[in-house]
Amino acid sequence: MTRLFGTDGVRGEANTDLTPELAYRLGWAAALYFGRDKNEPPMIYIGRDTRLSGKLFEAALATGICSAGGRCEIIGTCPTPAIAYLTKQQDADAGIVISASHNPFQDNGIKFFGADGYKLPDAVEDEIEALVRRLEAGEKLPRATGRRIGDITGRREYLVRYINYVAGTTTERFDGMKIVLDCANGAASEAMPKVLAKLGADVTVIHATPNGVNINENCGSTHLESLIDTVKKLGADIGIAHDGDADRCLCVDENGAVIDGDRILVMCAQDMIKEGSLKDNTVVTTVMANIGFHKAIEAAGAKTVVTGVGDRYVLENMLANGYNLGGEQSGHIIFKDFATTGDGLITAVQVLTSLKRSGKKASDLAGLMKSYPQLLVNVRVKSKDGWEDNVDIREAVEKGEEQLGKDGRILVRASGTEPLIRVMAEGPHQVELETICRTIADRIKQVQG
């Protein structure tokens, strides 16, 4: 049987793959798990992004939690990292976020945070999944009755606590800074404009009118075109873009050039080095980081540690070794001094802090890193199973690696959340990369469908 939890919670098309019945069982199982060693009902916070199906799953989860005798605090629409922060800060037993991040509106997902504000370990997810499977099989698990039935409370005001916290992660003021903010019609739409307003910035907000179906639609961190146009049109100092659940942040400089996660890490690392706050002068990144990133960090007097793809692996390494800065090219950045997970709002505040302290333009700071050409091709497949062991795919990759030699690299991996196999090649010549990626992608299509 396929594992219920993927790399970032349970995901699927709303009301098809991910159903309210499944959400109900997840809520019930969560209440049983997090209340197992308690003398009182467990408290679970629920937040969501702006998808049309969000309220459907919010209601189903809450019903399941209450059926098992748990209590719910409904935060409503809020960034994913807000639930991580509030769960820990308010001493809740767990937090649940309803979101499919950067995916289109018809998808949705359910992910959990523990009482410590961190995403759940695989072993805990497996225990919750085991309870779900028992419910699906018709087993009669504990059901609350009478006074033990759980309660649901709306806590919209808790979002203000998170907004104040994010604004408090800097000692700088942003008065005089002209900023364009793209909220992806998602979870940042209310919170982030208020954060920047508290810090004195001159903000133009775009894509902050969610209607349930326009989340990530030609906007946000996966579609930067309108942000680039607005920054250039208004002569802004910088543009900021979040994804649907606001755990990511990408930027564009005053000329409209993209500042990806690699560059954000370089900008913030050099500021932290000057401030003496970068632990062990080390930045944690993934195998997807550009070669130019490693060279820029080295030039700044620091070092890099590389993990597998995924913010959870970055965080695991940071926790194991005491590092306080890490992230991914995609814009998942973790400032461990401030957050237990990737937080797009905190990332934006730290980027603006670096910019303000430097007295330079965004393009100057982003220019600390010179990128090698990098090409990423997403191959949609019928099945992701077995591709690593296929001789034809391996042969195509090896030929590409021979062609690039020591001046480049190739990385092929399966997506953790979508039916895709990703082919990434990096090297000095774009045309060469296109040929290599196309050859490998064609081979994958032939083999995997």
DSSP assignment of 203-237, as one string?
A: EEEES----SS-TTTT-GGG--HHHHHHHHHHT-S
pLDDT class of 407 with cuts at 50, 70, 90:
confident
Backbone φ/ψ region at 262: left (φ over 0), alpha (ψ -120 to 50), beta: alpha
Fold classified for 374-448: TATA-Binding Protein (3.30.310)
19-60 pLDDT tens trace: 999 999 999 999 999 999 888 999 999 999 999 999 999 999
pLDDT class of 309 with cuts at 50, 70, 90:
confident
Contact 126, 46 (CB under 8 A): no
The residues of the chain that CATH labels 3.30.310.50 are 374-448
Nearest CA-CA partner of 11 in 415, 449, 448, 424: 415
**Token pair belonging to 285:** 């990144």
SS3 97: strand
Per the residue annotation, which of 67, 99, 101, 221 is the catalytic one?
101
- Examine the residue annotation and report whether 101 is marked as an active-site residue of this protein: yes
User: Which sign does the torsion angle of CA 103, 106, 111, 117 carry?
Assistant: positive
Q: Give percent of the chain with pLDDT exceeding 70.
A: 100
SS3 3: coil
The residues of the chain that CATH labels 3.40.120.10 are 10-156, 161-366
User: pTM value?
Assistant: 0.89
Task: Provide the pLDDT for residue 1.
Answer: 66
237-293 pLDDT tens trace: 999 999 999 999 999 999 999 999 999 999 999 999 999 999 999 999 998 899 889
What is the four-CA torsion angle of 319, 321, 322, 328, rounded to 10 degrees? Answer: -60
Residues in the chain: 449
Quote the Cα angle for 82-83-86, to 5°: 85
10-156: CATH homologous superfamily?
Alpha-D-Glucose-1,6-Bisphosphate, subunit A, domain 3 (3.40.120.10)
Distance CA 238, CA 236 (A): 6
As a whole number, mean pLDDT of residues 109-128 equals 96
DSSP state of 427: -
**Token pair belonging to 122:** 């695989």
3-state SS string over 285-343? EECCCCHHHHHHHHHCCCEEEEECCCHHHHHHHHHHHCCCEEECCCCCEEECCCCCCCC
Strands (DSSP E) found in 119-248: 152-154, 178-182, 202-206, 238-242
**Token pair belonging to 68:** 């098992």
What is the architecture, at CATH level 2, of domain 161-366?
Answer: 3-Layer(aba) Sandwich (3.40)
- CB-based burial label for 154 (10 Å; 0-12, 13-18, 19+): exposed
Q: Which residue has the tokens 């949705």?
A: 108
